Amino acid sequence: MTIETLARLPGIAKPQGPLVLAILDGVGWGLGDGGDAVALARKPNLERLWRSSPTCTLAAHGEAVGMPSDADMGNSEVGHNALGAGRVFRQGAALVQDAIQSGRIWQGATWKWLMDGVGNDQPHTLHLCGLLSDGNVHAHIDHVLALVAAADHARVHRVRLHVLADGRDVAEGTFEMFVQMVEAALHAYPARDYKIASGGGRMAITMDRYEADWPMVARGWATHVRGEGRGFESVKAALQVLRAEPGGKSDQTLAPFVIVDAKGAPIGRVQDGDAFVFWNFRGDRAIEITRAFEEATFTAFDRGPQPQVRYAGMMQYDGDLAQPKRFLVEPPVIERTMGEFLAKLRLKTLAVSETQKYGHVTYFWNGNRSGLLEPDFEEYVEVPSDRISFDQRPQMRAHEITDLVLQTLAVADPPDFVRLNYPNGDMVGHTGNLAATIEAIQALDVELGRLLQVVRDMNGILVVTADHGNADDMWMRDGKGRPQMDAAGQHIPKTSHTLNPVPLSIFDPAHADAWRLRDFAANGEVPGLANVAATLFNLLGYEAPKDYAPSVIEAKTP
């Protein structure tokens, strides 16, 4: 696709120094109460920025980042897509919904490849595994039912479901309801052998993320793949027993169970020649079980004899690592990204983060494209992340990221545009450790102070924003926003993203009289992450592409 050359922007000159974009991953604009680690942290530099520099908030979830509805949380992948693309592309749940409704999913090469192994009444089994929920954050029950119907249409004789209880993106205690919905659907295929074969809570088995608890995945592998664990004649019988045991009242922590036949043998053990689909569309809690299926040199736990199966995900969970290799729904086609326009303008760019978010400021920022767009004008640098739980070192590698940026800015011909991601607010926030997350925000503030000083000295511009919320709410809450407490009267930690907006601040003392924040509210509009790219182009002194979401700044009129 042709990349047009952008025109100069009347009234706003290119800054003398660099334009630096600092993405504070997972730092949203919260309620300011006792669960808001951002509000609780000592952060003089951030507070001075919010108070003294033009600041607004941006929508970073739901439809503003391409999710099906505003009840859907954003994440780092879709957030960086929107930041780098300057437009909103339908993502995740919306793409799966579209693919099913149009029928494209069944015409794709992956579904046909799966059916080549198990369709047309072959003796092999199609296994379907994932979160049983209508929360639409990781998965949706409608997608599962569509897979079952398509299997029947392809004459798959045997289907086994391995169901994970939610209780996190939907209300606790709803697992029985979803199980009943699925079992009723399976009964509509009396000529087929379609059954639920195993299950457990999402925080007990299978759905670990960020390599925080590999034994969770090992338990899921034993349960779903090897058919090992406590056996029950039905899901109903399993729940009657497990609900009365420690942790059983919560869907999230429900112990694993295996459905067995009259002889006590598991009805859903995965065998050579079978097919296995993980139906979650969101990647963070799907990547580890995918690795267990696909990595030849896997060492996280002992898989035992590994069955040779056709494995696929609902979507690709890690584009950088190309995992899984096969997936049912294509990611969005994102072209004409900010990076491509900068390359056309021959502006030098530096992108840097530590391992945890390196792919986000490169691959996802560039519209899910790997590698340098223009080697002569771009440099991407990865700072190795610690291999420990991030609450043990909340500062992570923020200091090293800043060091690298400042060293690069000190050269004779520094980059025109620098984008960096500090992962602390997200990665430490995911641990649920409030004290550590407060410490993480405080560490970020120190690094921002260093950036501010150098950018000021170079007559540059610093833009500070985030990709989604996380650290801004560390408490689980009920439907009315009230904090949830455990049996001991303690707040239940929240480890997921939030629906809160994220702040955007622009430190540009040299051009303070040239522009002002656009009044979106006057037109009933709400700016989002997609508005950032046009803003950056304007700050560099260029008109934004005409199809980009509008800049949050506009030239002042005399």
Q: What is the pLDDT of residues 352-393, one digit of tens each?
A: 999 889 988 998 899 888 789 999 999 999 999 987 888 999
* pLDDT tens-digit readout, 258-293: 999 999 999 999 999 999 999 999 887 898 999 999
First to last CA, the chain: 39
Residue at 62 is within a domain: yes
Same domain, residue pair 119 and 41:
no
CATH number at residue 349: 3.40.720.10
Identify whether residues 81 and 175 lie together within a single domain.
no
Instruction: Residue 245: give its domain's CATH number.
Output: 3.40.1450.10
Q: Nearest 10 degrees: CA dihedral of 406, 361, 207, 243?
A: 80
Domain of residue 294 covers 93-313
Where is average pLDDT lowest: 8-22, 96-110, 122-136, 181-195?
A: 8-22
| DSSP at 84 | H
Q: Cα-flanking dihedrals φ and ψ of residue 31, to 5°? A: -80, -15
- 133 and 254 fall within a common domain: yes
The closest of 207, 216, 219, 237 to 133, measured between CA atoms, is 207
Catalytic residue among 76, 133, 198, 496: 76
Average pLDDT taken over every residue of the chain = 94
pLDDT of residue 319: 66
Kindly report, residue by residue over 246-261, the tens digit of the pLDDT.
888 889 899 999 999 9
For the purposes of burial, counting CB atoms within 10 Å of the CB of 304, is it exposed (0-12), middle (13-18) or buried (19 or more)?
exposed
76 part of the active site: yes
Q: Identity (one letter) of the amino acid at 46? A: L
- How many CA within 13 A on the CB side of residue 234? 7
pLDDT at 353: 96
| H or E, element range at 392 | none
136 and 260 together in one domain: yes
pLDDT at 430: 79
Looking at the 3D structure of the chain, how many domains does it have? 2
Say yes or no: 130 and 220 in one domain. yes
* Whether the bond into 324 is cis, omega within 30 of 0: yes
Confidence of residue 200 (pLDDT cuts 50, 70, 90): very high
Query: How many CB atoms are located within 10 Å of the residue 392 CB?
Result: 11
Domain end (from 280, 313, 346): 313
- Whole-number percent of the chain with pLDDT over 70: 99
- Res 210: pLDDT: 57
Are 272 and 345 part of one and the same domain?
Answer: no
Same domain, 351 and 212: no
485-508 pLDDT tens trace = 988 999 988 877 899 999 999 999
Task: Indicate whether 245 and 279 sit together in one domain.
Answer: yes
427-446 pLDDT, tens per residue?
A: 899 788 999 999 999 999 99
Asked whether residue 13 is domain-assigned, the answer is: no
* Local confidence band at 100 (pLDDT 50, 70, 90 cut-offs): very high
305: how many CB neighbours lie within 10 A of its CB?
A: 7
Residue where a domain terminates, one of 281, 313, 345? 313
Do 213 and 97 share a structural domain? yes
Is the confidence at residue 8, as pLDDT, over 90? yes
